[in-house]
Amino acid sequence: MIGRVEALAKGGRGIVFVEGKPVFLDGVLKGELVEFSISEKKRSVFFGVPEKIIEAAAERITPPCPYYEQCGGCNFQHILYEEQAAIKEDILKSNLRRIAKIDYPDPVEVITSPPYRYRTKAVLKIKAGKTGFFRKERHDIIEINSCLLLPQVVEDFLPQLRNHPAVENTGTGDIFILSDGREFSALLKSGRNEQYICEKKNISFEIGDFVYSVKPRNFIQANLFTLQPMIRLVTRHLEKESVYAAVDLFCGAGFFTLPLARIAREVTAVEVDGENLRSLSINLKKNKIDNVKIEQADILKAELPEADIFLVDPPRRGLGRSVVASIIAGKPRQVFYFSCDSATFARDSGYFREAGYAMSGLTIIDNFPQTDHFEIFSCFSPVIDDITAEIYFKQKVDKSLKQIDEKKVVSHEEVKGNH
């Protein structure tokens, strides 16, 4: 079969239409003419394999990684980096239109990154005597001796790591690696057993005026070069604000909690993971911050306080209807939303809009060059008064938001109905 790639979907696959039906192809670019074959069908969606690029896009380049065709870590190395950022903006705007029916009117700011050697953290898999990353679309392991996304200090350690006695004696497990670009820590986890396989147990990150002590299994943003810009996104919105109370949801080890505490009179930091909260406590003491209340709670079930500012940085599943409702009940002046999934972000943006909150400051932070993943930032502010918003939300959320089906935001499959 021969077809023209019409667009790239969330997940980085190209879309070719055959008799009106979409076929998803890996490793292609918008506008390319490709020869391909159908490889499988999943739930009425067709997937194919490109056999030949007949007309290549000008943005196509030769991937520099020797493992690129096999490793499941990267899927954009064949694309010029400047084009990667443009593709991600298209995916974000497409999901906002398709899922939330939002046409964002303003330019989207894009914070780029050096394209390689940017990762603060990685997880190597151990399985069947092999140590490396998952193979593309499979769960067997491809062994690696190098990775262009890792800092050089980590890559240099990979051969020693694989030959470490503890790793050689582990049948199945994970190696959690953390680095600030100068030094690293590595933790081997197999079942309930954990063992450090290098000298350092934690890494200190100096970010602006703050010092963060972080362990390999703590949460910290993934890109060495966007840590400070991400904090600035928040602080620049609050430079002229008087903030009494702020709430940091999914606070991790305190990446955003610390700068919020320098701005707000009091901060509530909410997180379910106890190991992250122990590191947060250390970081508060290290930075001499004493105006933060720590709450260990499942945010899906937590009763949230009223606050001027909410900052949320959820996992890929996003917030969902109930958490948005809890946030709105807190009557915030601003909600700062960081997201690592454009589809669930779009869904939640619809919920905020229905509650009378408008989006502004939409920004892409390219935390994951060479992949289709990216971070999103936006600020949501009320455009109607608190009482009206509360009434509106209670009346409309159950009716209007049923049109935004939460099941439709988790994959690229839904694009088939929009072409």
CA angle (370 as vertex; 360, 415 as ends), nearest 5: 60
* Residue 419: CA count within 13 A, CB half-sphere: 20
- Check pLDDT > 90 for residue 384: no
Which band of pLDDT confidence, cut at 50, 70 and 90, is reported for residue 12?
confident
pLDDT on residue 413: 34
Structure tokens at 337: 């939303």
The letter for the amino acid at 164 is H
Give the mean pLDDT of 193-205. 94
Q: Give yes or no for a contact between 132 and 124, defined as CB atoms under 8 angstroms apart.
A: yes
- Helix ranges (H only) for 169-271 are 227-237, 257-263
Average predicted confidence (pLDDT) for the chain:
90
The letter for the amino acid at 226 is T
Structure tokens at 107: 């330019």
Give the mean pLDDT of 282-310. 95
Distance, in Å, from the CA atom of 249 to the CA atom of 368, rounded to the nearest integer, reads 23
What confidence tens digit (pLDDT) does each residue in 316-326 have? 999 999 999 99
Structure tokens at 279: 């590191």
Q: Give yes or no for a contact between 221 and 120, defined as CB atoms under 8 angstroms apart.
A: yes
pLDDT on residue 416: 32
Compute the chain's Rg from CA coordinates. Answer: 22
What DSSP string describes 264-326?
SSEEEEEES-HHHHHHHHHHHHHTT---EEEEE--TTT--PPP-SEEEE---TT--HHHHHHH
- Check pLDDT > 70 for residue 405: no
CB atoms within 10 A of CB 183: 15
What DSSP string describes 292-305?
EEEEE--TTT--PP
- The whole model's pTM is what? 0.88
Which band of pLDDT confidence, cut at 50, 70 and 90, is reported for residue 102?
very high
pLDDT on residue 386: 53
Structure tokens at 255: 């990446």
